[in-house]
Copies of this chain bind each other. A is one copy, B any other.
Amino acid sequence: MITEKQPLHGDPDLMSQTSAERDNGSPAQYQLNNDHLQRAAFLAKSLSDGNRLRILLLISDGKKSVSTIVEKLELSQPLVSHHLKELKRSLMVKVERDGPFIYYELADARILDVVRILSQVATDLLSERTTF
A residues near B, CB below 8 A? 5, 7, 14-15, 24-26, 29-32, 34, 36-45, 47-50, 52-54, 57-58, 60-61, 72-74, 90-92, 107-108, 110-126, 128-130
Q: 9 A-B pairs, CB-CB below 8 angstroms?
A: A15-B130, A30-B57, A36-B119, A36-B122, A41-B48, A41-B52, A91-B126, A108-B121, A110-B117
- Tallying the copies of this chain within the complex gives 2
Q: Is B121 within 8 A of A60, CB to CB?
A: no
How far is it, in angstroms, between the C-alpha of A15 and the C-alpha of B57 when the chains are bound? 22
How far is it, in angstroms, between the C-alpha of A120 and the C-alpha of B111 when the chains are bound? 11
> Given that A14-B122, A117-B114 are known contacts, is A50 also in contact with B38, CB under 8 Å in the complex?
yes
Q: Is B32 within 8 A of A50, CB to CB?
A: no
Most chain B beta carbons < 10 A, residue from A52, A91, A128: A91
